[in-house]
Structure 1
Amino acid sequence: MSVRYYFASCREAVRGILGVRGLTNYCLSCCVNTLLQTLSATWEVAELLDRWETAGVRTDGRNVPLQLKKVLAAMRSDLPQPVQHQDFLHCLDRNLVRLHVQHDADEVFLSILNFIQQQMDDKPLALEIQNLYKISLETHVQCLECSSVQTKSTYLLNLPLHVQEDDNSLEGCMSSFFEHQELRGINSIFCAECETKTPSKQGVKLLSLPRILCMSLKRFRNGRYGTRKLDCQVTFPETLDFSGIDQEAFSSGFAQNDCKYTLHAVVVHSGNAMFGHYTAFVRQGTNQSWYYADDSHVRQVSWDEVKKTYGGYHRDTAYMLMYRRDPKEERQQPEVSG
């Protein structure tokens, strides 16, 4: 055995022992590979899927949560080679998330969560998975003619944050999300009191925050000359206290005490709007170290390297951020299996 081969084998073995396994890029699958790394780092999802009794589920290759359960289990094993996940990719393809096509990570992430709701026969368990990400909101629309207010409850599975064409901070983007917006002209909303469309003021307030808080940095803009990507800087912290943002963001019914979160996964986009590549930074649950996953290649990194995805000088920019609540009570990931 050559020295080079020996050390390469050692690196692969350590990778498996640490429970962070690579995924081969198969038919332009970097987007899905990256999302699988973030789902693997979100051990709560795999734990809930493990509780799902699948003996009676049809194995026709179209059930996304069934294939997800299998691939997440394989990613937890200590085998040295990259995970074979073609069955999961073909399953997505049969559900119209096509192979050989570049996808938007945000859209595919929401599609996977929707497939879980639609295709799991254990609906209470499927709801538990959705509730991991469920951000409950209260929407207020005030008519600027008669001052009447319409209120309704809704929810999101990730928080879409607008990025300015300048230096940004995550906290600033969140504050902007909760600012009131005036809706006029073609954007006017029907007022039941006035019985016509009128100018209005719209805003959202938080009713509750989820265990896993997912946020998308909306870096892509549609313009006269097509879609372009903003590589401007967006700083984000490793630990986030949501209660530090404007108190106007919270509904009077918000009763959650712990709003502190710790970052555990970052989806990274490299390149431009027309041609790009996805990678991920994930925090490994056992030792809380950061790892960088670029398809089949995985290596341990520092927080300083994660911060390079702020943007500005670097074109490898954070696109999705996933934070976990209550880090003091965070459980360990399940032990890897052979």
Structure 2
Amino acid sequence: MSSRICGLFFRSYFGMRGLTNHHLSCCVNTLLQTLSSTWEIADLLEKWETGGSCEAGNVPLQLKRVLVAMRGDSLQPAPHRDFLQCLHTNNIRLNRQHDADEVFLFILNFIQKQMDDRALALEIQDLYRISVENVLQCSECSSVRTRTSYLLSLPLHIKDDHNSLEDCLTSFFELQELTDLNCCFCAPCGRKTPSKQGIRLLSLPRILCVHLKRFRNMRGDLRKLDCRLTFPETFDFSEVVRDALSSTFTQEVCRYTLYAVVVHSGVTSCGHYTAYVRHRGNNRWYYADDSDVQEASWEDVKTTYGGKNSNTAYMLMYRRGSVQVEHPEASG
């Protein structure tokens, strides 16, 4: 059996289907591959009785249909024109370049707005919900103000001296000094005082989405930061940012395993999105570049660390829980 036929056989057998690039749709194609690998979403959407939904402009309905199609065993790219047109109707326009993290959050927002089953919609959001406590402490009287909120992805700034995901996480949760013009009003002190501001974790989600913010406005010019940043295949969140856990944090399982990487290549004005995804059936990595899907390895995924390579990881999807990590190329 030729390698080409073998590749098609594995794609069909394991349900890995590509997506044709229609009208600059690589960003959406890539996100659909990561959502398809987030089998929890497809399982929840399957429970949704969609009889009362308006079809043409309903994002979760069209998402449900395309995820079902992507699980099919056809060798052809999965049909997703209706999903693209649905996003276009909801102002995610065709023939335009989009930011993957923004489109991802838009899709989650549309699910909340357009699903008539509120309980299921909340279950989908809860997959990604990172509950946090915003803390503001006066540096003079030590009084503390807190406010609870949530995030659906962790937006981590990239710095030249932070060359690992662990470094970025530590920096994200560090207390920030607010002084001079940034002083905040303290009620016990009756005036603006220097303060410390930070975020504490209340709970971690099943799916941890990390946004590596590689695009930065530099004197009015939006540039991409290609500096090298490593990330692990598995890590324990509680060990990386132990000091960021709230006193009420009670989760025992904080270990996460990487299952999808959204990759950006090129520059800000002319770029392309692809994805590495781990398949649920055989736990192996695959590389999805629009309609082309090929088996890959962890060594291939690590080429997206950045540095001189313009193919850089832009979003990381981790799943909570212990998953056996296989590296067939390393055996024997």
Partner of 2:218: 223
Give distance in 1, aligned partners of 2:178 and 2:86: 42
| Partner secondary structure for residue 79 of structure 2 | coil
Partner of 1:101: 96
Is the CA contact (8 Å cut-off) linking 1:21 and 1:83 kept in structure 2?
yes
Is the CA contact (8 Å cut-off) linking 1:30 and 1:295 kept in structure 2?
yes
Deviations 1:123-170 (A, max 9, x none): 000000000001111111012344321101111001111111246111
Partner of 1:285: 280
Is the CA contact (8 Å cut-off) linking 1:166 and 1:233 kept in structure 2?
no
Relative to structure 1, the CA distance from residue 188 to residue 63 in structure 2 (aligned partners, 3 Å threshold; closer, same or farther) is: farther
Is the CA contact (8 Å cut-off) linking 1:34 and 1:280 kept in structure 2?
yes
Relative to structure 1, the CA distance from residue 223 to residue 81 in structure 2 (aligned partners, 3 Å threshold; closer, same or farther) is: same
Deviations 1:160-190 (A, max 9, x none): 1111124611111111111001123444334
Partner of 1:161: 156
Q: TM-score, normalised by structure 2?
A: 0.93
Give distance in 1, aligned partners of 2:103 and 2:184: 31
Give distance in 2, aligned partners of 1:79 and 1:124: 33
Is the CA contact (8 Å cut-off) linking 1:166 and 1:232 kept in structure 2?
no
Partner of 2:13: 17
Q: TM-score, normalised by structure 1?
A: 0.92
The correspondence of residues 144-183 of structure 1 with structure 2, limited to 5 A, is 144-166=139-161, 168-183=163-178
Partner of 2:269: 274
Among 244, 256, 265, which residue is 1:249 paired with?
Answer: 244
1:290 CA drift (Å): 0.2
Letter of the 2:280 counterpart:
G
Deviations 1:14-36 (A, max 9, x none): 31221110000111100000000
Is the CA contact (8 Å cut-off) linking 2:257 and 2:323 kept in structure 1?
no
Partner of 2:232: 237
Partner of 1:53: 49
Among 21, 29, 41, which residue is 2:37 paired with?
Answer: 41
Among 116, 119, 123, which residue is 1:124 paired with?
Answer: 119
Which moves more between the two structures, 113-122 or 167-176? 167-176
1:197 CA drift (Å): 4.2
| Partner secondary structure for residue 168 of structure 1 | coil
Give distance in 1, aligned partners of 2:190 and 2:85: 51
Relative to structure 1, the CA distance from residue 187 to residue 67 in structure 2 (aligned partners, 3 Å threshold; closer, same or farther) is: farther
Deviations 1:69-120 (A, max 9, x none): 0000000000110011011011011111111110000000000000000100
Give distance in 2, aligned partners of 1:147 and 1:7: 66
Partner of 1:73: 68
Is the CA contact (8 Å cut-off) linking 2:162 and 2:168 kept in structure 1?
no
Relative to structure 1, the CA distance from residue 186 to residue 32 in structure 2 (aligned partners, 3 Å threshold; closer, same or farther) is: farther
Alignment: residue pair count: 324
Alignment gaps of 5+ in structure 2: 325-332
Give distance in 2, aligned partners of 1:151 and 1:157: 20
Give distance in 1, aligned partners of 2:263 and 2:38: 17
Deviations 1:36-70 (A, max 9, x none): 000000000000000000012122x1110000000
1:327 CA drift (Å): 3.0
Is the CA contact (8 Å cut-off) linking 1:282 and 1:290 kept in structure 2?
yes
Give distance in 2, aligned partners of 1:167 and 1:151: 28
Give distance in 1, aligned partners of 2:25 and 2:181: 40
Partner of 1:334: none
Give distance in 1, aligned partners of 2:58 and 2:40: 20
Letter of the 2:30 counterpart:
T
> Among the aligned pairs, what percent are the same residue?
63
Is the CA contact (8 Å cut-off) linking 1:167 and 1:232 kept in structure 2?
no
Give distance in 1, aligned partners of 2:121 and 2:136: 32
Letter of the 2:84 counterpart:
L
Give distance in 2, aligned partners of 1:324 and 1:178: 21
Give distance in 1, aligned partners of 2:186 and 2:77: 57
> RMSD in angstroms over aligned alpha carbons?
1.7
| Partner secondary structure for residue 234 of structure 1 | coil
Relative to structure 1, the CA distance from residue 133 to residue 225 in structure 2 (aligned partners, 3 Å threshold; closer, same or farther) is: same
Give distance in 2, aligned partners of 1:159 and 1:181: 17
Give distance in 2, aligned partners of 1:296 and 1:13: 15
Alignment gaps of 5+ in structure 1: 330-338
Which moves more between the two structures, 170-179 or 217-226? 217-226
Residues 1:314 and 2:312 are matched in the alignment: no
Give distance in 2, aligned partners of 1:157 and 1:263: 17
Is the CA contact (8 Å cut-off) linking 1:12 and 1:81 kept in structure 2?
no
Give distance in 1, aligned partners of 2:109 and 2:190: 36
Give distance in 1, aligned partners of 2:232 and 2:10: 29
Letter of the 2:241 counterpart:
D
| Partner secondary structure for residue 81 of structure 1 | coil
